[in-house]
A and B are shown apart, each in its own frame.
Chain A
Amino acid sequence: MKYLILINDPETAWSKMAKSDSDAMMGQYFKYTEELKAAKVLLVGEALQPVHTATTVRIRNGKTVNTDGPFAETKEQLGGFYLIEVPNLDEALKWAAKCPSATIGSIEVRPVQVYG
């Protein structure tokens, strides 16, 4: 089964970190990604640029509106994702718990829809 691991953490936490701490976090992320690859569960994973770089597109009543910023203001922001393939939810949850941001943010595990 495929699961999307959505990494939500407070951008303020990152910006308040000393460089040595954020470097350490990045190192942990590098290790984490390598572990996912070694276990052959990783399909794709990316870090995202901060939410201020986002643009949101909505079409209402035939009008296209592009808004500067994310679709909603939230306390934690989507900072990255991993799409993994594992046998069941327990396995997906184990991997989510290993995500470096789990201690400062919220890691949502969403199963991918299966049709047919």
Chain B
Amino acid sequence: MSDLATLFKREAGPVIARLVRLLGSLPAAEDAFHDACVKALEQWPVSGVPAQPGAWLATVARNRGFDVSGSAHAALAEPLEAASNAPTREAIDLDRLDSGVDDDQLRLLFTCCHPALSAQTQVALTLRTLGGLSTTEIARAFHEPEATTAQRLVRAKSKIRGAGIPYEVPSREALPARLYSVLTTIYLVFNEGYSAAEGEALLRDNLCREAIRLARWLHATLPAEPEVTGLLALLLLQHSRAEARVDAKGDVVLLEDQDRDRWSAQAIAEGGALLDAALELKQPGPYQLQAAIAALHAAAPTAAQTDWRQIALLYNSLWQRVDTPTVGLNRAAAIGMAWGPNEGLDALSRLDASHFELSHWFDSARADLLRRAKRYAEAAVAYDQALTRVRNAPERRYLEKRLGEVRALLGL
């Protein structure tokens, strides 16, 4: 039975995407797909799983959807067709796509990641409709009550319909900005898996895998977009460290302390090759830059041999394009490694600390730099502050350990 659950999850994305186009609404598509799965659960144990389960589900769901909406389906479907036939809209070479289903999923992905929806909503909607995750699974990923996630999804679909968010692939001029939204959503999914904000486990592997799966699919669908390639490279390069990031106790292992033999050489090789291919197109962008930084880490045989200067320079470029607090923080840390902790602290001091109110990262980075600058009393204060905000047990243990070291050095 769990095999069927996995199958339904896998088929959800393409089938729902096609149904959205046929039925004209996301809620109708989801209901129809759900009904088809129920039918499958009844019939397949008896008749056997069909050779093409996706096609079976799509056909049954479509018929169900038309039954439910009655004669309304023609009227609903029409506006979508009109929108998709508008000559200026098609930025994607449809002849290059393997099947219409990729185009449907692409439309759905761009809709889920529309900037009129909040970042968290984009992630939730993408995980639901393209990842096939249940509301329960998404709620766990966000560390929020299931009712909150459920309401978020209901509101999102209501906004798509009520505010007229179009189901379409953006026009050529709008594509770069909209694509960035999509890539950021996928990266958020990955980060949710890579570093859980709460709870014991530092790695939420299925979220990471889901992000990689989406990025691979997007890369196969849009092979000529260097930022898409860059994102896939970045995810593979970061994920290459998965085995080494957490020790047997579940504690976080810093990059500098990780056993590099446990890094996946295959993922690094693939990520590196993808990055090279992207850079050939000579259209640099934030995800290619982040991938390049990850590649420099991956290329260092030992932590001591890390090319921090190059990394810091890449962060400068990234900071010019994406001046978010997180990038600013990582840049300051890299500057600290390249040119010394006091330089790093200087870069950190120029950031607006209020952005970090909810997270311990700023205090943690500051504490580490102060510790390395041998300013132990200030470091102790900063570690204390970080501890009041940390929400992840392995990271808490790390901070407590560092605080202990610093206090010992202070003779406390």
Interface residues of A (CB under 8 A from B): 1, 3, 87-90, 92-93, 109, 111
| Interface segment out of the listed B162-170, B249-257, B327-335, B349-357 | B162-170
B116 adjacent to A1 (CB under 8 Å): no
Q: A93 to chain B: which residues have CB within 8 Å?
A: 116
Chain A residues within 8 Å of B114, by CB:
89
- Bound CA span A1–B166, Å: 11
Cβ of B174 within 8 Å of any chain A Cβ, yes or no, is yes
Mark B146-164 against chain A: 1 for CB-CB distance below 8 A, else 0.
Answer: 0000000000000000111
Say if the beta carbon of B300 comes within 8 Å of chain A: no
Closest 4 CB pairs of A and B: A88-B166, A88-B164, A1-B164, A111-B163
Residue in B162, B163, B164 with the greatest tally of chain A CB atoms within 10 Å = B164
Chain B residues within an 8 Å CB radius of A87: 83, 164, 166
- Give chain B residues whose Cβ lies under 8 Å from the Cβ of A89: 114, 116, 163-166
Q: A5: shortest Cβ distance to chain B, in Å?
A: 13
Apart from A88-B83, A88-B166, A90-B174, 19 more pairs, CB < 8 Å? A3-B164, A87-B83, A87-B164, A87-B166, A88-B164, A88-B165, A89-B114, A89-B116, A89-B163, A89-B164, A89-B165, A90-B165, A90-B166, A92-B164, A93-B116, A109-B163, A111-B162, A111-B163, A111-B164
A41 to chain B, nearest CB (A): 14
Q: How far is the CA of A111 from the CA of B165 in the complex (A)?
A: 11
Most A CB contacts (10 A, CB to CB) among B162, B163, B166, B170 go to B163
Complex Cα spacing A86 to B165, Å:
12
**CA separation between A90 and B170, bound complex, in Å?**
9
Instruction: Tell me, in angstroms, the Cα distance from A87 to B116 when the chains sit together.
Output: 16
**Chain B facing A: main interface SS:** loop
Residues of chain A lying within 8 A (CB to CB) of residue B166: 87-90
Number of A-B contacts (CB under 8 A): 25
Q: How far is the CB of B382 from chain A (nearest CB, A)?
A: 34
Residues in chain B near residue A3, CB distance under 8 A: 164
Give A92 to B165 CA distance when docked, in angstroms: 10
CA gap between A112 and B166 in the complex, in Å: 16
Q: Considering residues A90, A92, A111, which has the most beta carbons from chain B within 10 angstroms of its beta carbon?
A: A90
With CB as the reference atom, state the residue of chain B lying closest to A86.
B164
Q: Indicate the member of B114, B162, B174 with the most A CB atoms within 10 Å.
A: B162
- 10 sampled A-B residue pairs with Cβ under 8 A: A3-B164, A87-B164, A88-B83, A88-B164, A88-B165, A89-B116, A92-B164, A93-B116, A111-B162, A111-B163
Residues of chain B with a CB closer than 8 A to A109's CB:
163
> Could you tell me the distance in whole angstroms from the C-beta of B191 to the nearest C-beta in chain A?
27
Which B residues lie within 8 Å of A111 (CB)?
Answer: 162-164
**Residues of the B chain whose Cβ atoms lie less than 8 Å from the Cβ of A92:** 164
Q: Complex formed: what's the CA distance from A90 to B174 in Å?
A: 10
Bound Cα distance A111, B170 (Å): 21
Find the B residue at minimum CB distance from A93: B116
Contacts of B165 in A (CB 8 A): 88-90
In whole angstroms, how far apart are the Cα atoms of A13 and B292 in the complex?
A: 44
CB A92 to nearest CB in B, in angstroms, measures: 8
**A6 vs chain B, min Cβ distance (A):** 14
- Cα distance, A84 to B265, chains bound together (Å): 56
Minimum Cβ distance to chain A for residue B295 (Å)? 36
Residues on the A chain within 8 Å of B163, using CB: 89, 109, 111
B-chain residues with CB within 8 Å of residue A88 when the two chains form the complex: 83, 164-166
Question: What is the distance, in angstroms, from B245's C-beta to the closest C-beta of chain A?
Answer: 40
Enumerate chain A residues within 8 angstroms of B164, measured Cβ to Cβ: 1, 3, 87-89, 92, 111
Minimum C-beta distance from A53 to chain B (A): 31
Q: Which residue of A lies closest to B160 (CB)?
A: A89
Cα-based distance from A88 to B170 in the complex (angstroms): 12
- Closest chain-A Cβ to B39's Cβ sits at a distance in Å of 32
Complex Cα–Cα for A3 and B114 (A): 18
Rounded to whole Å, the gap between the CB of B343 and the closest CB of chain A is 36
| Bound CA–CA A61/B165 (angstroms) | 41
Q: Could you mark each residue 63-88 of chain B with 1 if its beta carbon is under 8 Å from any beta carbon of chain A, else 0?
A: 00000000000000000000100000
